[in-house]
């Protein structure tokens, strides 16, 4: 399996919340897309790792993925150490993605920002010829940061108006995380309608910035090239 686009995230359901619409849109455009979750979310309050892996497969089908995998790194103890970097770099060499989406480098959850730095360094190492004698070197052409939960100005925003409902279906495939709640003390886990309202509000905010109904924001570190400044999208006034 070789991929055009690979999204790497710390936990199952992270991609669905941050860049699921873009993943669907690229799959609909004919690109081979994949998701690599670094952990199975085994430290989560609700559900089990086994449940979340089954739910991830279901969500992956709704995201129209060509491939989904899990590195089974320790949840809530994710470390950017040599072993993790090497393992992830080898997996990147196997999948050969042209573009990789990774978490933004600042986040509330330590696993999220560590997933970002770990993924970036693994993408670089994957291009070293002598890294591993059993796989061919491969370095992605582009690394993109998903920035939906970071208070930063995006480098660009993807219009996901046509994909938003399907993205929500994918996220709500994780019934162990977003199903009905009956136990007490569950303010950490909002009800399904509240989840729809929250994510819809965020997506509408970013969509409004580009004149669309729903959008997903991304950041790149390098300059973006524009060849035709007359036909640029998003009006100034």
The mean pLDDT value for 107-129 works out to 97
Residue-wise pLDDT for 137-153, tens only, equals 999 999 999 999 899 99
Residue-wise pLDDT for 7-45, tens only, equals 999 999 999 999 999 999 999 999 999 999 999 998 888
Determine, yes or no, domain membership for 234.
no
Determine, yes or no, domain membership for 224.
no
Determine, yes or no, domain membership for 31.
yes
Distance between CA 212 and CA 210 in Å, rounded? 6
Kindly state the helix (H) or strand (E) to which residue 193 belongs, with its residue range: helix 192-209
Determine, yes or no, domain membership for 88.
yes
The domain that holds 19 is classified in CATH as 3.40.50.10320
- Res 187: pLDDT: 58
Which residue, 172, 178, 177, 188, is CA-closest to 48? 177
Chain position carrying tokens 């970071």: 150
Residue 80 belongs to domain spanning: 5-179+187-218
Determine, yes or no, domain membership for 223.
no
Determine, yes or no, domain membership for 226.
no
Stated pTM of the model = 0.94
Determine, yes or no, domain membership for 204.
yes
Determine, yes or no, domain membership for 127.
yes
Q: Taking the C-alpha atoms of 110, 170, 207 and 10 in order, what is their torsion angle to the nearest 10 degrees?
A: 10
Q: Which residue blocks in 96-172 are alpha helix, DSSP H?
A: 110-125, 164-171
> Domain tally for the chain?
1
| Residues 107/146, Cβ–Cβ less than 8 Å | no
């Amino acid at each position: 399996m070789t991929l055009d686009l690979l999204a790497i995230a710390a936990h199952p359901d992270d991609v669905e919340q941050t860049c699921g619409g873009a993943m669907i849109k690229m799959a609909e455009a004919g690109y081979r897309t994949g998701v690599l979750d670094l952990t199975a979310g085994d430290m989560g309050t609700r559900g089990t790792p086994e449940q979340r892996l089954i739910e991830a497969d279901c969500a992956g089908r709704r995201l129209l993925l060509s491939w989904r995998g899990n590195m089974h790194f320790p949840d809530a103890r994710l470390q950017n150490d040599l072993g993790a970097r090497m393992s992830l770099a080898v997996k990147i060499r196997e999948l050969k993605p042209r573009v990789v989406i990774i978490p933004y480098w600042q986040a509330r959850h330590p696993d999220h920002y560590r997933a970002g730095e770990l993924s970036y360094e693994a993408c670089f190492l994957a291009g070293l010829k002598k890294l591993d004698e059993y796989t061919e070197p491969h370095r992605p052409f582009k690394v993109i940061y998903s920035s939906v939960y970071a208070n930063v100005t995006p480098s660009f925003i993807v219009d996901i108006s046509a994909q938003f409902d399907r993205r929500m279906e994918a996220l709500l495939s994780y019934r162990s995380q977003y199903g009905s709640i009956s136990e007490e003390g569950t303010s950490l886990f909002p009800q399904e309608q509240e989840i729809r309202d929250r994510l819809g509000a965020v997506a509408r905010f970013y969509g409004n910035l580009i004149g669309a109904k729903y959008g997903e924001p991304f950041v790149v570190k390098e300059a973006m090239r524009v060849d035709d400044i007359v036909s640029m999208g998003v009006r100034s006034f």
